[in-house]
Amino acid sequence: MDHVPPIEAPSATIRQPVVLQVLPALVTGGVERGTVDMAVALAEAGWKAMVASEGGPMVRELTRAGAEHITLPLASKNPLTIRANALKLADIIAANGVDIVHARSRAPAWSAWIAAQATGAHYVTTFHGTYNLGWFGLKQKYNAVMTRGEKVIAISDFIAEHARRIYGLEAERVRVVHRGIDMTRFDPTRVSPERIIQLAQKWRLPDGYQVIMLPGRLTRWKGQAVLIEALALLGRHDVRCLLVGSDQGRTGYREELVELIKRRDLTDVVHLADECSDMPAAYMLTDVVVSASTDPEAFGRVAVEGQAMGRPVIATAHGATNETVLPGRTGWLTAPGDPEALAQALDRFLALSGEERDLMAKDAMDFVRAKFSKESMCASTLDVYREVLGLALAAPQAE
């Protein structure tokens, strides 16, 4: 009988890396969603996932995925609290053998950076926005903690360029990882007619009207007033417009919008809807999605979600929107704060044939699925972690 060499058992000393993400809280929003998605991906990859925050309703989703949550007052900007958080994080890093600390917001980033320096853990940041620079550059120094990562993840090319231009961040430390959306949630085939009908009834939408929707919290820079002025210029009352989003206590701005709608004789056209818990159904109820932001979007989730649902998007041509919309193929880009340009884009959309809309829907869905999936975001972030640890990168997936 031939001699068969024994199969060597894997070493029990091999330990999977430990990643600790830090952020203010786990309530709602893009930063929070990305944190939870990444924790799930880490657990699925066999790594240990830890998250430190003040907590919130998304903690349950974390723990279900096998991640560990530590509650700390990380939303505080008080220097004494930041210092105390740093000491606690250092203890957590040492006790759990944390390899990488990943900071996703400025106040917790200071605590995380101090703790990483004290323990020798690797430090990674995600640059999520442009951040207010404040007076005399003081805020800029506070923001600069987001550039101290060994690798700095930027959520768009626009943000990467901003970090290089404003903070002098070296290009070799920047890794662009676009935000990703859950394609199983934002999938037209998974939205039942009952969900769409229920929402139409809630918003009292009559049949036979094309629907224009601007999703986004009611704040001035999101451009709701620009869209209202564009609709006045369009001069059509055979459409309906939904402004979907909470005023988050900005009752003064909400009242301004109501008054503007009255002055422009659009009370039968424009409807202010509150925050919607079923956005996939809202997109399916809509014919065209508008993002009229007057300030540049760091990423622009609305434009990507709308396209994922097969809806053309009209957005402003600045910020990351230049990366997330293909003009003429998946939507149109207009000048910021320009109601006339927006009215012209709406007019072009309303004139499209059914065949042209179907082609645009297909291009939009194909584009988003190829570039902005949650899976792509998580895989790219894992590669950043591997790069920091000196591990081999994952093999690229065949398209």
Residue 5 lies in a domain: no
- Partners of 269 in beta bridges: none
- Partners of 53 in beta bridges: 71
| Whether residues 383 and 314 fall in one domain | no
| Whether residues 167 and 200 fall in one domain | no
Q: Looking up tokens 């998007």, which residue turns up?
A: 313
Cα–Cα distance measured from residue 103 to residue 112, given in angstroms and rounded to the nearest whole number? 7
Cα–Cα distance measured from residue 109 to residue 124, given in angstroms and rounded to the nearest whole number? 9
Residue 104 lies in a domain: yes
| Whether residues 69 and 213 fall in one domain | no
Position 139 scores a pLDDT of: 82
| Whether residues 276 and 152 fall in one domain | no
Nearest to 278 by CA among 361, 173, 176, 191: 191
| Whether residues 306 and 240 fall in one domain | yes
Residue 6 lies in a domain: no
Residue ranges of the chain with pLDDT lower than 70? Answer: 1-14, 135-137, 393-399
Residue 399 lies in a domain: no
| Whether residues 205 and 154 fall in one domain | no
Cα–Cα distance measured from residue 135 to residue 176, given in angstroms and rounded to the nearest whole number? 29
| Whether residues 61 and 117 fall in one domain | yes
For residue 298, give the CATH number of its domain. Answer: 3.40.50.2000
Position 5 scores a pLDDT of: 45
Nearest to 297 by CA among 318, 311, 276, 267: 318
Beta carbons within 10 angstroms of residue 272's beta carbon: 16
Residue 55 lies in a domain: yes
Residue 101 lies in a domain: yes
The tally of domains found in the chain comes to 2
Assigned token pair, 265 = 């004789």
Q: Domain range for residue 364? A: 188-371
Position 247 scores a pLDDT of: 87
